Structure 1
Amino acid sequence: MELLKERIKKNGKVIGEDILKVDSFLNHQIDVQLFQEIGKEFKKRFNTEKITKILTVEASGIGVACITAQYFDNVPVVFAKKYIARNLAADVYESKVFSYTKGTEYLIRVDKEYLNPDDNVLIIDDFLANGKAVAGLMDIVRQAGARVAGVGIVIEKSFQGGRTAILQENVRLESLARIQSLADGQITFVD
């Protein structure tokens, strides 16, 4: 998606060799107009799928997932929670994931009421690095007996192995911008 790549080139900041900071438009401050274009692009790429739910993980995936849902007939968006709250049901699907950015492992949880065996789920997330968050979300979908229709990623760091892990699960993966390298502070795209 050229519009997204241009925005990454303009506002993205490289930290070290493996972190891309895009908080000015994606995961701290949100550019709603860009998100609308991202939502349209995901609809275009997954237009043959009859999506019944969109699943993401809190917090940065929620905005993209909600706007994307508007282009899929306003299907519900479910987000996996990272933290236990007193208002979270006891009957949940859960999966262990490792956050590359934060360097920590945690459990993500979804109330069993919100995913059903007849759901056709599109997983949406802001970043793909090692694929652990997406693997955890796919695990939750499978625990529910539902189908993973595909995975939509805004920015993929292709040099970190997440793509390979997802494709080995025979799941369709669509990434809107694929980063080949962040070496020497330079952002290089796959295509």
Structure 2
Amino acid sequence: MALKVLRDRILKDGRCFEGGILKVDRFINHQMDPYLMKQIAVEFIKRFAHKPVNKIITIEASGIAPAIMLGYMMELPVVFVKKKKPSTMNDMYSTTVTSFTKQRDYTVVISKEYLGPEDHVLFIDDFLAYGNAGKGVIDLCRQAGATIEGMGFIIEKEFQHGRELLQKEGISQIESMAIIESLDNCEIRIKND
């Protein structure tokens, strides 16, 4: 179920590029619309209210804004998985994630201090494409013994089948605020509710 305000914004300000790329940097991942982020956070709260979440996790960088807004509203800590190991981090979990937009692999890390078996995690990100970031977070949570209660995405590109990959990995609740059915011929087609 797409948020109407998000749907309208994608159609108005989104840009399509060859290769299944949807650029939303006017309002999500470069210049941000805080009011839109708040509306998205409110919707995530409704959808995950029944889950015993005690921590929100995202991956840098574009997932940070919606995760922070959600963490603020739910009064929960937000931890972001880093794409580069800081020199001050020694005890950590790590895995490899492939970036769809950058077409490269990243070794991502999270401190063992901020993820453990007591954590019930909600993963939040800007896009669900092939599911690579989500799969990386699943691996990190498995290493830590943490439980993933669900995953939330602002925009899902349904035609890239990331949801199926995450479901095969055991994620039962995946919520997307807007689902893109197709970007064929650079025409943005959003799934109707």
The answer to whether TM tops 0.5 is yes
Question: Given residue 37 of structure 2, which amino acid in structure 1 is its aligned partner?
Answer: F
After TM superposition, the structure 1 = structure 2 runs for residues 126-145 of structure 1, keeping only pairs within 5 Å, are 126-145=126-145
Partner of 2:159: 159
Partner of 1:190: 191
> TM-score normalized by structure 1?
0.96
CA distance, structure 2, for counterparts of residue 185 and residue 106 of structure 1: 28
Deviations 1:9-31 (A, max 9, x none): 01000011400000000000010
Question: Given residue 42 of structure 1, which amino acid in structure 2 is its aligned partner?
Answer: F
After TM superposition, the structure 1 = structure 2 runs for residues 2-151 of structure 1, keeping only pairs within 5 Å, are 2-72=4-74, 74-87=75-88, 89-151=89-151
Shift >3 Å, 4+ stretches: none
What is the deviation of 1:57? Answer: 0.4
Question: Given residue 4 of structure 2, which amino acid in structure 1 is its aligned partner?
Answer: E
Gaps of 5+ in 1: none
- The alignment of Structure 1 onto Structure 2 pairs a total of residues equal to 189
What is the deviation of 1:85? Answer: 2.2
Question: Given residue 76 of structure 1, which amino acid in structure 2 is its aligned partner?
Answer: P
> TM-score normalized by structure 2?
0.95
Identity %, equivalent residues: 44
Contact 1:130 1:161 in 2 (8 A): yes
What is the deviation of 1:167? Answer: 1.3
Report the 3-state secondary structure (helix = DSSP H, G, I; strand = E; otherwise coil) of the residue aligned with 1:114: coil
After TM superposition, the structure 1 = structure 2 runs for residues 172-187 of structure 1, keeping only pairs within 5 Å, are 172-187=173-188
What is the deviation of 1:152? Answer: 0.2
What is the deviation of 1:64? Answer: 0.6
What is the deviation of 1:84? Answer: 2.1
CA distance, structure 2, for counterparts of residue 152 and residue 105 of structure 1: 23
Deviations 1:133-170 (A, max 9, x none): 11001111111111000000000001011011011123
Contact 1:17 1:184 in 2 (8 A): no
Question: Given residue 167 of structure 1, which amino acid in structure 2 is its aligned partner?
Answer: Q
Cα RMSD, aligned residues only? 0.9
Deviations 1:82-113 (A, max 9, x none): 012222x1110111110000000011100000
What is the deviation of 1:190? Answer: 2.1
Contact 1:57 1:79 in 2 (8 A): yes
What is the deviation of 1:3? Answer: 1.3
Report the 3-state secondary structure (helix = DSSP H, G, I; strand = E; otherwise coil) of the residue aligned with 2:84: coil
Contact 1:116 1:144 in 2 (8 A): yes
Question: Given residue 162 of structure 2, which amino acid in structure 1 is its aligned partner?
Answer: G
Contact 1:97 1:133 in 2 (8 A): yes
Question: Given residue 153 of structure 2, which amino acid in structure 1 is its aligned partner?
Answer: I
Q: Which moved more, 1:181-190 or 1:118-127?
A: 181-190
